[in-house]
Chain A
């Protein structure tokens, strides 16, 4: 089981770093967003209780979330490619527990995503956002849990998809709003009530919280969601996605 998970995760890692355009693409998108939106909204950003926080600073955890969400979910698109080649079948006919197939994919994709997040985190001291070692450790934990959850969600989505084109549709109607309504772009508490509920039910909100809180530990005043609550919600939701993914992979199609 462990051997199989390791082998699949290792393959995921190798194939990602052997395709330089994937590395560049998934790192450049959040960075561009951060630079463009950060400087664009900078002047008009005046949230109550957030005086003294620049928009670029407010938006930084949102960029990390974007990286975790998009890179994590995109890493699972490879399931669709694997199916179109014989790679997925080859794994399915191997004598490995189906959970190992999910875990191999999810852990590999999480590793790939974390490697990219670390590039951004390593840049934080130069941006004046270094949270200290304790904060950095919590931040890393938050990123790991968020990415595990998102990649498991990616497996759930990709498993039943026939083409990558369908994946892009899901991305624009589901993932992008999920990211925007997480509080990454604007604070939650000013939204109308219905939107507030959507944001609370949105897993990305909690993922953002466990990324943002460690970063802002020194300026805790604008933290709304208690950290432990967010952490519990994120963990429960990640486990749920893993469970659904494992159940899905476990199903052998049967004739009627």
Chain B
């Protein structure tokens, strides 16, 4: 559905600001009916890639095909196939929900009757039933996002692009939003592409893409991403960090140690229980807690982005 080939984007420099490469020779494929969550640290190139995919920015090099056509050669055709939900609200707060939808529908060449039909249809999967004639400015954050989603789906796009669509939503509304997405994908085969920095949102995805310093570090299913870190990992909080770090270094290759939020995360351990006992015997007094857990997507993310940072900035000290 989306094919990105060799896309590089350099922002032109200004006086005293050197040019900056935001995305570097990126290849990415989003299959029809897939659900890809694009994640990565801030400044990693997510927003640039999103702007390119939505056709708001032309890459310096490379090609983007959406629904079988080149996005920049045949923009009208590509645009018709996609619905876009931006991070910032794209509903006019002075207009009612219905008026906003009508404007959107007409922008996509739909007549009023068709818009009315689609509205009735969307009410079956959204909670906006009683609020159609309320101004958008009076809706709660969760409902406004739903209205945004309904709007983006109004012209029945095959691809839904979303830029951190759940920003500012409470956990309940976020959950509801994601459930709706999953059912849209299941019931209508809509291809979903979404940027997010919340790993809980990536669990439902068919693939997680991690973008860091303009490069794609990984494009894997959530399960395979997790298994890269092994079945289990240790989480250790200690008062004697140098001592523990020294012991962990003795464990040798294959074992990866990262530090996050004052804790040591140890992955790639062949026999975690044995290591646990060993560490407890040696550092029991200074260890505050020592736990064993299954790696989360967040752990994978930090593992991948951290290690690549170290590789580039400090080759002497691969962590």
Contact = CB atoms under 8 A, between A and B. Distances in A.
B11 interface: yes
Contact of A90 (B19, B75, B90): B90
B87 A255 contact: no
B86 A96 contact: no
Contacts of B72: 252
B178 to A, nearest CB: 20
Interface size, B (range):
35 or more
A251 to B, nearest CB: 10
Interface string A73-105: 000000000001111011111111100000000
A15 interface: yes
Contacts of A11: 92, 95, 99, 103
A95 to B, nearest CB: 4
Interface in A211-256: 252-256
B232 interface: no
Given A15-B92, A89-B56, A6 B106 contact: yes
A85 B88 contact: yes
Interface in A114-134: none
Contacts, number: 103
Nearest to A14: B95
A91 B107 contact: yes
B89 interface: yes
Contacts of B111: 3
B25 to A, nearest CB: 13
Contacts of A96: 76, 107
Interface string A1-16: 0011011101100110
Given A3-B106, A92-B55, A255-B10, 11 more contacts: A11-B103, A15-B92, A87-B92, A89-B54, A89-B90, A90-B84, A90-B86, A93-B82, A255-B11, A256-B11, A256-B19
Those 10 A-B pairs whose CB atoms lie nearest each other, nearest first: A255-B60, A86-B90, A7-B106, A86-B86, A90-B90, A95-B79, A254-B58, A86-B88, A94-B107, A255-B9
B61 to A, nearest CB: 8
Given A86-B90, A255-B9, A93 B58 contact: no
B107 A7 contact: yes
Interface of A: 3-4, 6-8, 10-11, 14-15, 18-19, 84-87, 89-97, 252-256
Nearest to B79: A95
Interface of B: 8-12, 19, 22, 54-61, 72, 75-77, 79-80, 82, 84, 86-92, 94-95, 99, 102-104, 106-109, 111, 135
A90 B55 contact: no
29 contacts: A3-B106, A3-B107, A7-B102, A7-B107, A8-B103, A15-B94, A15-B95, A84-B88, A85-B89, A86-B87, A87-B90, A89-B54, A89-B88, A89-B90, A93-B54, A93-B55, A93-B56, A93-B79, A93-B84, A95-B75, A95-B108, A252-B58, A252-B72, A255-B9, A255-B10, A255-B22, A255-B57, A255-B60, A255-B61
